[in-house]
Structure 1
């Protein structure tokens, strides 16, 4: 064997020896089988490590979710999805499409305290832009390293946003939001209502909209920032503005505690205008005193005084106890239960039924109520909706008050407006039934057609009774206490009501709640106007003003300025055919 052959043989043996040492197997291919087994085991280990890794990751995620579930509300409650923060509310429009409420885009300032490097410096910088910033409260929020989210200021102006951005404070950010804007300010505040900082309806039609399902959708996260179908109201912004001006001027002129008014369509029950003062600016409701939030027209109850004589005489006529041609002896006061019922300006003679209404005779009215009877009297007022809670869209509606037990003395005093407190809006609605043919139409702040009104209306008095009441309103408007509400060409009829207010359980003569219930044109009434004024004073400073000199002129001003807008054509001359009139 040559030297080269020996070297080749040794090399071959060394190769197989190494394979045997590595695999511990023979040369017949078993060594290769052991290598495959090791690779399979290694692959299994790698898959196991991957499964363990994914399990650990998902365990961490699940643990964090549980941690957020048990976290304190202030840590996570304000962290809402962007679409929830941007959720829109529908625009609110008047009957002619004028905007009463709409959404505008804005931003709010928030902080992530765990990213704040120097809370002192951050507060100092923010205070240079937000001059009214709560220094201590803001520092407390920013110095909490466990907190990941805190609101600092909601609804910033664009200028404030740009100034804060220029400060370059780490851990400070902005979230887009919606802000409710009311172009008319306080003009229709008690009707439209207002929203809170989170754009949730708090009163008026804003709250009504939420109660129709918007709030539930928002809670379920089903709202979006897309535009919604506008909500159109029955309000005529032009008439609303006129009424607002008249009521505001009356408060100033008579130095009154408050005043209000409402204009109703006699055929549909639509509220065309309603004002209560003091009022508030829904763009900044917190700036108004709590007194301004009270809607006196629907959520305040008052004794309506002699306006109730309208219902008492309608009751007597409808029950057939009296006719317009009958007379009642009003010569002597009525003494009952230790009380004496007498007339304010008594004629001390027998009065016809129209004269009882014209002279506002307490004695004559009380005797008509006595003819009808206590139980029938109670039932008649309930039929007119004067002693039950009124149903309408506004959430702010008060429950009227009445005696727990109606006695004869109760019926007598209630006949001329003492002993029952109801809301002015209810009084106006009942007044509509007296002049529109006898139909009680529930009031609405949404558009309603004549056909829709007929479906919900209730016949409460006979059409003949309504015709007689229109005559009585006309007589009082021409000859009686409603003279100061007359407007040439528009044939206004109505009834005044001067109610002494109760102070410390006693009626006082120097504090009145005055009202005037009017309808026009009285021959075929299309609208009812009710004006009220609380504790008006005379211009001579000698006590309280009466309804004839305070509430009646208010109604006259409203009719004079709004009749043409409402489409009522004036008529001049005895037969209404004259086209021109000389002033």
Structure 2
């Protein structure tokens, strides 16, 4: 920068020649310099003011836009209570035909931020009026606590409750968005679905975590963000489930049973079409697990998969099927049934005196313990155990329920000859109704091993061949004979060919031995028996029929009528048209011809 001198020599000399005052030149130059400096300073100030104005304008535009977006959206969420990374989504659960079993419902949670509270005493009193289960005095202490900054008040609200909270007018009471799990059918399929609860919670969302049943077993899959729009489709048929539940509940009340369970299974796919356990619960308000007493007494206990029982004479079908498949006997082979059959200090007796001998078919029809034990002796312990293992009776069922994973069949490690005989007619081996359904499916579907599943399948299972087609045909003809001539006569359903086997097992006493007047009654049925499609297992805990002069507890009087009523109602739902008596007889004659 070149500065102009305040007293330039040339001008000073000229001023002296003209007689002027040289100091005036310096003052003029000084004035001009100050003016130039002032002009430069002004320009700098104006530039800074312009930059500041533009900056403020931009900031106000951003703030205004943000305020507009907030005004058009939900209220702002306090940053102090946000939970980062909380995933609140969960896929729906449907039945086999797309009916909703479990879904999500948008709702709000209620929480309090103490820094915004104006009148915590009034707020606590009003909340106690809206939510009678809240302890208003305790809530007042919490809202007034100077050391507390945040409080969850309610996990979810109904629209009516939300409006009532709004009307309190307390700025410290705030709402947080979330979804809750909803089971629109209430108790229906409660033990299958299990239930869900909130996991990690934030204001914007809360995790929904499966706590039992299908919800727990497939928890990772249902919470997968990439599969939230892909519902989980089960094998259950909702109308069939409703029928089974209604009839079973009515039967349980009529027969004064302590509990009951029923499983209906497709014999070719292993799909569980219906699974009911009573007593039950509403998964929308799942009760807490029991902390004392017997787990089986809790409504949370799933008798279909957790209940391992000595199921009695329904096991005779497995024994007869093995004996037939071995080739050592035929349906008409005569077996010595004179009794009692003694083994050391133990005796095996029949319910009635059936004479000295019975054919294998009549052993099934009459349900002879001695005859079945004789067949088991021919098979031997090792072959019997191997056969039961092939049917899946000695391992967990594999059905997709969290409770089933931890449930194991119960039997003695010492598989003696005595155990072989007692297991043959249903004592000494405790197994679950769902495993019995899978075993019966394997026996009547042509002999293919079936694994039970709660997921809808695209076609039949291709399992191991456990018995031959011929043996399978012989077994289903025998099961039909049990209904027509034997202990399951109450299972005759007009229009449908039903086959089945009864089982009445004395109930074990926890103190040792067995109760004299308490039984587990089971009816294992197949329909239609000429061309099996479904197996139905009905098991009742301590039933008693009291219409006669003496109480009757056997399965023929208890579980069989309940099973028959289920079949009568559910068969049409499964697309099975009733047949005339002549048509049923013709179908069974064709089956007999095929067996021969």
* TM bin (shorter chain): 0.7 to 0.9
Q: 1:13 to 1:434 in 2, by over 3 A?
A: closer
Note if contact 2:125-2:140 (Cα within 8 Å) is conserved in structure 1.
no
- The match for 2:458 is 449
Note if contact 2:497-2:529 (Cα within 8 Å) is conserved in structure 1.
yes
In the TM superposition, residue 576 of structure 1 has moved relative to its aligned partner by 4.2
Map 1:230-269; keep pairs closer than 5 Å. 230-269=231-270
1:461 aligns with 2:467: yes
Q: Which of 210, 213, 219 is matched with 1:204 structurally?
A: 213
Q: 1:249 to 1:575 in 2, by over 3 A?
A: closer
- The match for 2:195 is 194
Q: Which of 559, 583, 589 is matched with 1:551 structurally?
A: 559
Q: 1:439 to 1:159 in 2, by over 3 A?
A: same
Q: Which of 421, 424, 427 is matched with 1:418 structurally?
A: 427
In the TM superposition, residue 146 of structure 1 has moved relative to its aligned partner by 4.7
| TM-score (normalizing by structure 1) | 0.82
In the TM superposition, residue 7 of structure 1 has moved relative to its aligned partner by 4.2
- Counterparts of 2:459 and 2:288, CA distance in 1: 41
2:261 counterpart SS class: strand
Q: Which of 471, 479, 483 is matched with 1:473 structurally?
A: 479
In the TM superposition, residue 79 of structure 1 has moved relative to its aligned partner by 3.2
- The match for 2:492 is 486
- The match for 2:70 is none
Note if contact 1:257-1:536 (Cα within 8 Å) is conserved in structure 2.
yes
Note if contact 2:113-2:151 (Cα within 8 Å) is conserved in structure 1.
yes
In the TM superposition, residue 152 of structure 1 has moved relative to its aligned partner by 0.6
1:5 aligns with 2:21: yes
1:132 counterpart SS class: coil
1:565 aligns with 2:573: yes
Note if contact 1:79-1:149 (Cα within 8 Å) is conserved in structure 2.
no
Q: 1:318 to 1:164 in 2, by over 3 A?
A: same
- Counterparts of 1:327 and 1:442, CA distance in 2: 34
- The match for 1:298 is 305
- Counterparts of 1:76 and 1:543, CA distance in 2: 68
In the TM superposition, residue 12 of structure 1 has moved relative to its aligned partner by 7.2
- Counterparts of 2:173 and 2:347, CA distance in 1: 74
Gaps of 5+ in 1: 20-31, 33-38, 40-74
Q: Deviations over 1:374-405 (max 9, x none)?
A: 11111111111111111122222121111021
Map 1:264-303; keep pairs closer than 5 Å. 264-286=265-287, 291-303=298-310
2:408 counterpart SS class: coil
- Counterparts of 1:76 and 1:412, CA distance in 2: 71
390-399 vs 361-370, which deviates more? 390-399
Gaps of 5+ in 2: 1-15, 38-43, 45-77, 199-206, 291-296, 588-596
Map 1:340-359; keep pairs closer than 5 Å. 340-359=347-366
- Count residues with an aligned counterpart: 515
Note if contact 1:346-1:361 (Cα within 8 Å) is conserved in structure 2.
no
- Counterparts of 1:77 and 1:466, CA distance in 2: 68
112-121 vs 126-135, which deviates more? 112-121
1:269 counterpart SS class: coil
Map 1:171-190; keep pairs closer than 5 Å. 171-190=172-191
- Counterparts of 2:241 and 2:438, CA distance in 1: 18
1:202 counterpart SS class: strand
In the TM superposition, residue 450 of structure 1 has moved relative to its aligned partner by 2.5
Map 1:120-199; keep pairs closer than 5 Å. 120-197=121-198, 198-199=207-208
Q: 1:543 to 1:404 in 2, by over 3 A?
A: farther
- Counterparts of 1:369 and 1:78, CA distance in 2: 68
- Counterparts of 2:253 and 2:25, CA distance in 1: 127
1:438 counterpart SS class: coil
1:430 aligns with 2:439: yes
Map 1:477-556; keep pairs closer than 5 Å. 477-503=483-509, 504-540=511-547, 542-543=550-551, 545-556=553-564
Q: 1:482 to 1:577 in 2, by over 3 A?
A: closer
Map 1:357-368; keep pairs closer than 5 Å. 357-368=364-375
Note if contact 2:127-2:136 (Cα within 8 Å) is conserved in structure 1.
no
In the TM superposition, residue 429 of structure 1 has moved relative to its aligned partner by 0.6
RMSD of aligned C-alpha atoms?
A: 2.9
- The match for 1:23 is none
Note if contact 1:386-1:422 (Cα within 8 Å) is conserved in structure 2.
yes
Note if contact 1:511-1:544 (Cα within 8 Å) is conserved in structure 2.
no
1:311 aligns with 2:318: yes
In the TM superposition, residue 428 of structure 1 has moved relative to its aligned partner by 0.8
Q: 1:349 to 1:76 in 2, by over 3 A?
A: farther
Note if contact 2:252-2:259 (Cα within 8 Å) is conserved in structure 1.
yes
2:283 counterpart SS class: coil
2:104 counterpart SS class: strand
- The match for 1:405 is 414
In the TM superposition, residue 433 of structure 1 has moved relative to its aligned partner by 1.0
- Counterparts of 1:335 and 1:279, CA distance in 2: 43
1:343 counterpart SS class: coil
Note if contact 1:92-1:100 (Cα within 8 Å) is conserved in structure 2.
yes
1:185 counterpart SS class: coil
Q: 1:480 to 1:124 in 2, by over 3 A?
A: same
- The match for 1:375 is 382
In the TM superposition, residue 469 of structure 1 has moved relative to its aligned partner by 0.7
2:411 counterpart SS class: coil
In the TM superposition, residue 136 of structure 1 has moved relative to its aligned partner by 4.6
Q: 1:138 to 1:341 in 2, by over 3 A?
A: same
Map 1:68-87; keep pairs closer than 5 Å. 79-80=82-83, 84=86, 87=88
- The match for 1:57 is none
